[in-house]
């Protein structure tokens, strides 16, 4: 991905805040706050403030709801992961109790565990949920297995709650994300309108309008932005560094999912993680120094390793 460009008839504020609510919040807040400072002494500042403030308030409210829902989703996903991680011990217990009633070479046992324990301990979340449900159906009204069926049913009920809550939470997050996108775009539109009004008001000396927009932030921070998806337990090359930068260079890394990552410099594409790396926490938005990721002089590739075995990583890396 190359540098973002700002043509004359493209909303530069929408481009600059796309895929980053962190950047949107910074740019929107600076615009509204700077207009408010001059609103008592400048008619044009007051007019632009009255146009922008309601849009900003709606964006902030929607963004806060979205951020809260994203955190909730992460918790629901984690709960399901914990359930599945402990599942093999439960399956061992069920099998042991069933074996005490039906021998392992009996027809009844083979019906209950036709594929052994693999369907319970491997595969997608849905398949593992289905495996427990199938076991319960196959036990049916077998009185000799009534006690173990109660244990399995209790586990299954809890498992199903975690699984369904996860999906409901994801759906809610998606809905809130769409709502926040609408308010972001509306705010960008009013900023573009204010840009035109301010340029008209200060057409004799346009630089007087610059204080109402964080031009440096938009021009420097948002020039190089990379959106990446990294598969489970996989290394992906994020950036090939074909340019020389000082050791103090920084990166903003936005990790949108409940997935821990390792970011490091490598001499080759998809190189393995070495002794030097930076750990990126799940669902985080932080700034990191290039020098902490490895040898800046000899290693060209900035690589990302997804440490999670179940969830793909969805991240954005911005070169600062």
Question: Across the strands, what pairs with 121?
Answer: none
Going from the C-alpha of 36 to that of each of 50, 166, 208, 217, 310, the distances in angstroms are 9, 42, 16, 20, 47
Q: How far is the C-alpha of 284 from the C-alpha of 281, rounded, in Å?
A: 6
User: Comparing C-alpha atoms, which of 255, 232, 285 is closest to residue 81?
Assistant: 232
For the chain, the domains span 8-222, 224-319
Question: Across the strands, what pairs with 319?
Answer: 224, 251
Phi, psi of 30 (to 5 degrees): -60, -40
Q: How far is the C-alpha of 232 from the C-alpha of 308, rounded, in Å?
A: 6
* Statement: 224-319 belongs to CATH 1.10.3470: no
User: Comparing C-alpha atoms, which of 18, 45, 19 is closest to residue 32?
Assistant: 45
Tens of pLDDT along the chain (320 residues) come to 334 444 456 688 887 787 777 788 888 899 999 999 999 999 999 999 999 998 888 888 877 765 544 444 444 445 667 777 888 888 899 999 999 999 988 999 988 988 888 888 887 778 888 888 888 989 999 999 999 999 888 888 877 777 666 554 444 444 446 777 888 899 899 999 999 999 999 999 988 998 999 877 776 544 566 788 999 999 988 777 655 555 457 788 889 888 899 999 998 887 888 899 999 999 888 888 888 898 877 888 889 999 999 888 989 887 76
pTM beyond 0.85: no
């Amino acid at each position: 991905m190359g540098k973002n460009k700002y043509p004359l008839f493209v909303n530069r504020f929408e481009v600059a805040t796309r895929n980053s609510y962190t950047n949107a919040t910074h740019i929107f807040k600076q615009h509204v706050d700077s207009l408010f400072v001059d609103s008592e002494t400048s008619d044009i500042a007051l007019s632009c403030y009255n146009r922008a403030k309601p849009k900003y308030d709606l964006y902030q409210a929607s963004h806060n709801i979205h951020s809260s829902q994203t955190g909730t989703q992460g918790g629901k996903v984690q709960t399901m992961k914990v359930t599945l991680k402990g599942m093999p011990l439960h399956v061992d217990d069920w099998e042991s109790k069933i074996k005490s009633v039906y021998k392992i070479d009996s027809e009844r046992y083979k019906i209950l565990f036709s594929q052994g324990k693999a369907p319970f301990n491997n595969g997608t979340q849905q398949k593992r949920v289905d495996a427990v449900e199938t076991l319960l159906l196959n036990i049916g009204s077998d009185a000799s297995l009534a006690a173990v069926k109660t244990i399995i049913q209790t586990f299954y009920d809890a498992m199903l709650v975690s699984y369904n809550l996860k999906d409901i939470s994801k759906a809610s997050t998606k809905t809130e994300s769409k709502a926040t996108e609408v308010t972001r775009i509306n705010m960008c539109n009013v900023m573009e309108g204010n840009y035109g009004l301010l340029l008209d008001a200060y057409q004799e000396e346009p630089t007087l309008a610059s204080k109402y927009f964080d031009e440096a932030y938009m021009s420097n921070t948002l020039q190089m932005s990379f959106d990446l998806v990294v598969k489970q337990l996989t290394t992906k090359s994020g950036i090939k560094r074909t340019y020389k930068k000082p050791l103090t260079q920084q990166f903003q890394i936005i990790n949108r999912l409940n997935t821990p990552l390792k970011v490091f410099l490598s001499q080759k594409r998809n190189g393995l993680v070495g002794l030097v790396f930076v750990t990126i926490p799940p669902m985080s938005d932080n700034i990191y120094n290039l020098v902490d990721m490895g040898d800046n002089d000899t290693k060209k590739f900035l690589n990302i390793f997804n440490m999670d075995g179940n969830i793909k990583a969805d991240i954005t890396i911005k070169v600062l």
